[in-house]
Amino acid sequence: MLFVEFRFLWFFLAVFAVYWTLRGNVPRQVWLLACSYAFYAAWNWKFLFLLIGSTLLDYVVGLMLGRAQKPAARRAWLLLSLTVNIGTLALFKYCNFFILSAAGLLSWLGLPTSMSTLNIVIPVGVSFYTFQSMSYTIEVYRRTLAPVSNLLKLAFFVSFFPQLVAGPIVRATAFLPQLRSARTFDRVDVRGALVLFLTGFIKKACIADVVAPVADRYFAAPQNFTAASAWIAVLLYAIQIYCDFSGYTDMAIACARLLGYELTINFRFPYFARNMGDFWHRWHISLSTWLRDYLYIPLGGNRGSRWFTSRNLMITMVLGGLWHGGAWTFVIWGALHGIALVIAREWSDRKSQGDWLARAMRWLAWPLTIYIVCVAWIFFRAPDLHQALLIARSFVLFQNPGKISLPSWIFLAIAVLTVVHWCNSRALFSRWWRGGPDMAFAAGFGGAVSLVLLFIPAHYAPFIYFQF
């Protein structure tokens, strides 16, 4: 059930109507938990047991961490949670990757191989709710969060349907306190939530799904296209993945907000970042902060030599790449970002004020950042390393492998989208709909929805991040 489908609209209207009709915190949370499980079961009901199992494990671990006093016992409980959660991820997401990589290595060494891959279906959203669940046990272990004694609350936190399958990865410290008191409809920013949902819908249905076929056409056979087409396709993919993922997040945040809950912000106009560090403060913020707090800082962070910090950055980014899926293309994507972050860090440490290069970089910072991000997207999107290198050659070295050209007016369309996005980043549009009476807003919203429907493609593509 996708947020952009009509059946989600009916589902959400039913959830919303019953939720606000119920009195009291517990009946409402029970209702939302049941709806969340039904939402998840709509994909594959069998994996519901995995979700419930993960929740039960972390519930027990949380309680035991609260009781245990000895550091060794606490460490053992935490280790159990991390092993099972990461083991689940490893089994579903990385098993075949490790088998294929081992087979490739043995074959490279000239040794005989007879390995076969497993026929595994990846449970939708497993990376998201596993990380979310782990954040709970880690925080309880660190004693920054009291263990939850009510199973309903923890199950609700792990499975809350707006963010269940593609994030944002909500932290236990941010969400669990919201469950203590009953939500009141008077405090819901209905206008803001509706506009946010519509914005997300436009990003997904009217932009991401419209540009996807053009990008797909190129990535399916890059050897047939010109270098200019490589630029068009890679830029379109950059737009597609941003609009797809941030569109989903906008809709998730809006749905949660209409039910009285606040989710973590996940994007802050990442393509206007002026360096790679800035990019990661704006792109998939819930993942980057998770990796920072639970991986980079425990590894030592920047509390050491320059080499030590660079090593930690590289480990964090490579594992961040691997989080997206078991493929070398994701590892290289993460490594490219790691290298770019290390270089950016070195640059900011060494640059001297007044230097002509520093002055030039003020102008070059934005296009250079976008360029690096786009080069990395090539590895993220390409089906395999061979194709990725072919596209990268075309994109970076302007080598013309083929003769087919994608229409060059797409550059103009990209420029228009960039201007609209820039206006949005300056909150120019929000002034219109924030002011004015409710009746005018309602009429404007109804008219806007009818306009948005005009540009929906015939077939929806699943959200890209559902596969992660």
Partner 1 sequence: MGAALAAFLGSCALLQFVLPEPHVDGFSQKLDFLREHGRDTDTIFIGSSRFYRGISPRVFDEEMTALGRPTHSFNFGLDAMMLPESAYVLDRVLAQKLPHLQWVFMELDDLHLKPWPAHRGTQRLLYWHDWERTKNLLSKSGDWSEKEKLKRHLARAWELREFIKLHLKEFLRRATNVGAGATLAADRLDPSAQDQPALGPDHDGFGPARSSLPPRQRASYRNDIAQAARAPVGHAADRYAEKVWKDCAARVRDHGATLVFIVPPAFPIRSVRFAKEASAPGPVLAFADLHRYPELYRTQMRSDPDHLNEQGAKIFTRLVAEKFAGEVADKRIP
Give the torsion through C-alpha atoms of 89, 91, 92, 98, to 10 deg.
100
Within 181-220, which residues bind partner 1 (CB under 8 A)? 210
Asked whether position 442 contacts partner 1 by CB under 8 A, the answer is yes
Torsion of CA 245, 157, 36, 5, to 10 degrees: -20
Closer CB to partner 1, 397 or 454, in the complex: 454
Contact between 428 and partner 1 per CB under 8 A: no
Q: What is the torsional sign of CA 136, 142, 144, 147? A: positive
Rounded Cα gap, residues 208 and 214, in angstroms: 11
- Write the binding mask 370 to 409 for partner 1: x where contact by CB under 8 A, - elsewhere: -------------------------------------x--
Among 284, 324, 337, 421, the active-site one is 324
We find the least distance from the C-beta atom of residue 184 to partner 1, in angstroms, to be 19
For position 115 contacting partner 1 by CB under 8 A, the verdict is no
User: Near partner 1 by CB under 8 A, which window of 79-87, 94-102, 146-154, 451-459?
Assistant: 451-459
* Closest separation in Å from C-beta 445 to partner 1: 5
**CA distance linking residue 49 with residue 46, whole number of Å:** 6
Contact of 148 with 142, CB cutoff 8 Å: no
Residues near 168 by beta carbon (within 8 Å), at least 6 away in sequence:
249, 252, 253, 263, 264, 265, 266, 285, 286
- What is the Cα–Cα distance from 462 to 327, expressed in whole angstroms? 20
> Minimum Å distance from CB 455 to partner 1?
5
Regarding 17 and contact with partner 1 (CB under 8 A), the answer is no
Among 113, 265, 451, 462, binds partner 1 (CB under 8 A): 451
Q: Indicate if 324 belongs to the active site.
A: yes
Question: What does R_g of the chain's alpha carbons equal in angstroms?
Answer: 23
Q: What is the Cα 383 distance to its own chain's centre?
A: 20
- Does the protein bind partner 1 through residue 416 (CB under 8 A)? no
Distance CA 154, CA 449 (A): 36
Q: How many Å apart are CA 170 and CA 135, to the nearest integer?
A: 9
Task: By CB under 8 A, tell whether 447 contacts partner 1.
Answer: yes
Out of 445, 461, 466, 467, which residue is the one contacting partner 1 (CB under 8 A)? 445
Query: Is residue 446 part of the contact set for partner 1 (CB under 8 A)?
Result: yes
Q: What amino acid positions are annotated as catalytic residues? A: 324
- Contact residues toward partner 1 (CB under 8 A) are 6, 210, 407, 439, 442-447, 449-451, 453-459
